[in-house]
Chains A and B, each alone.
Chain A
């Protein structure tokens, strides 16, 4: 039982990271209908920037907001400079651009910081507290930071005029222009926010997976999975999907081990976590293509 709770708790912690990435993906998807394959590498790049600043002697909690702002500007710039001229380009061209961005940020990080694995110290204090047998301080910290971030974003989109304008622009660009909303600007802001959210995800996960240019590859995959399970068109769903995938992958390993212990037959274990998680994702999508919480687009005919 104790192990079970432990697995769920650490699943939630990983899920928090997947949720952040899923949210970043969804934010760009709802406004452009594109999946940004470079989202993970952008997050990795931002994590390196945070690390670099801490190496220079800055406190993590100063470095993180600074890097978030920088990533925001980076996202806005990418949208304006790279993607803006491609607004009416076919999907394949845009996919190629995303893959190009992925390669660029990957090799840029490699050439600046090298490919050797770096330690990234946890920004959360080491301490013991009730239940610390089940979950470590870094994991708790990850969950808390993620939740704070998600609520802040939720409040931004729900209660501020500019958040409302961004939602309107994403939903119906033609109508948004007809009420004077600058849709192109909203798009660039969306890219900036996605990059900033990704930066938080990268900086939080770096102490867990260690810092190196490949660190986000598998995490982005889980982020995709989370976004798809929850519904790629629904920000709230993507967050829920991220947590679901996080817990699921841990439980697959846990129950696999239990099974092996009790029957002696090895079916699944930690090695197959990713595979089983993805099978579940495919099953969900087969049965419910818009995801668990996604909107089914209904058209009046």
Chain B
């Protein structure tokens, strides 16, 4: 059974339809990427999965229909959403950001261990623990956003352009750690990226969105070698 199965998903902002007919499936344990140009509906797809926009269609998470659920309830099932723009609690400290993310959990001892785990993935956050999160650099805030999602102990992580606005070296580091998180913490990932080359390197499977519909899908290797994809998204 697929971890996440999306069928005929439509999404709307007020009267405007942003997703027309999106279907895809995610295997447990893997990394899948959604590619597409600006306005193709990548962010909207992630928002639709978390109940942040009005939707029609079907979203099965671990076999359970979650379409129409409140965001908080979807999150509590184990869906960690790393939002566009990082969503930092800017006036809270790094430590408070992480503890707020563990708010729904009752296993206090495991929360403490997960905090340590986060700091082994991102040692720099450990050094900034008392600092106001709004004063962190862009890369550090991205690491914090991923860490917040991790503190939920998610089964699935939705990552919305983690490379956005960051220096190439930082992006490489973050992607390296995402691979580690996927392998060591057994978190499945759905990655939305403008940087197609990077995303295809990390992901096993790829879907390509155009104006709100899936136009192509396949193993990353296959998608990568597709003539049209290479020209439009990889630029060679």
State A165–B72 Cα separation when bound (angstroms).
Answer: 13
Cβ A181 vs Cβ B100 within 8 A: yes
Residues of A within 8 Å of B100, CB to CB, are: 164-165, 167-168, 176, 179, 181
Cβ A179 vs Cβ B101 within 8 A: yes
Q: Which of B90-139 contact A (CB under 8 A)?
A: 90-92, 96, 99-101, 103-104, 134
Any A CB within 8 A of the CB of B76: yes
Across the two chains, which residue of chain A brings its CB closest to B78? A180
State A53–B10 Cα separation when bound (angstroms).
Answer: 58
A114 to chain B, nearest CB (A): 46
A-B CB contact pairs (8 Å), 7 listed: A164-B92, A172-B90, A177-B70, A178-B149, A179-B75, A180-B76, A295-B91
Any B CB within 8 A of the CB of A171: yes
From A172, A175, A180, name the one whose CB has the most chain B CB atoms within 10 angstroms.
Answer: A180
From B52, B71, B81, B100, name the one whose CB has the most chain A CB atoms within 10 angstroms.
Answer: B100
With A179-B75, A181-B72 in contact, do A161 and B91 touch (Cβ < 8 Å)?
no
Any A CB within 8 A of the CB of B89: yes
**Residue count of chain A within 8 Å CB distance of chain B:** 19
Partner of A180 from the list B90, B134, B152 (CB cut-off 8 Å) is B152
Any A CB within 8 A of the CB of B182: no
State A182–B149 Cα separation when bound (angstroms).
Answer: 16
Across the two chains, which residue of chain B brings its CB closest to A164? B100
Partner of B92 from the list A171, A180, A298 (CB cut-off 8 Å) is A171
Residues of A within 8 Å of B96, CB to CB, are: 164, 167-168
Cβ A178 vs Cβ B50 within 8 A: yes
B contacts, CB < 8 Å to A = 50, 52, 70-72, 75-76, 81, 83, 87-92, 96, 99-101, 103-104, 134, 148-149, 151-152
Any B CB within 8 A of the CB of A174: yes
Cβ B71 vs Cβ A177 within 8 A: yes
Please, what's the 1-or-0 string for A256-297, where 1 marks a CB less than 8 Å from any CB in chain B? 000000000000000000000000000000000000000100
State A297–B207 Cα separation when bound (angstroms).
Answer: 39
From A164, A167, A175, A176, name the one whose CB has the most chain B CB atoms within 10 angstroms.
Answer: A175
Q: Which of A157-174 contact B (CB under 8 A)?
A: 161, 164-165, 167-168, 171-172, 174
Cβ A171 vs Cβ B83 within 8 A: no
Cβ B103 vs Cβ A180 within 8 A: yes
Cβ B148 vs Cβ A179 within 8 A: yes
Cβ B75 vs Cβ A178 within 8 A: yes
State A167–B93 Cα separation when bound (angstroms).
Answer: 12
Cβ A180 vs Cβ B75 within 8 A: yes
State A168–B149 Cα separation when bound (angstroms).
Answer: 15
Please, what's the 1-or-0 string for A178-215, where 1 marks a CB less than 8 Å from any CB in chain B? 11111100000000000000000000000000000000
Cβ A182 vs Cβ B90 within 8 A: no
Partner of A181 from the list B87, B103, B134, B151 (CB cut-off 8 Å) is B103
From A164, A175, A178, name the one whose CB has the most chain B CB atoms within 10 angstroms.
Answer: A178
With A165-B103, A178-B83, A181-B100 in contact, do A172 and B71 touch (Cβ < 8 Å)?
no
Residues of B within 8 Å of A181, CB to CB, are: 72, 100, 103-104
Cβ B83 vs Cβ A168 within 8 A: no
With A164-B96, A174-B83 in contact, do A179 and B91 touch (Cβ < 8 Å)?
no
Partner of A168 from the list B50, B89, B151 (CB cut-off 8 Å) is B89
Cβ B89 vs Cβ A175 within 8 A: yes
Cβ B103 vs Cβ A171 within 8 A: no
Cβ A182 vs Cβ B72 within 8 A: yes
Residues of A within 8 Å of B152, CB to CB, are: 179-180
State A233–B72 Cα separation when bound (angstroms).
Answer: 26
With A161-B99, A161-B103, A165-B103 in contact, do A178 and B89 touch (Cβ < 8 Å)?
no
Q: Which of A215-263 contact B (CB under 8 A)?
A: none
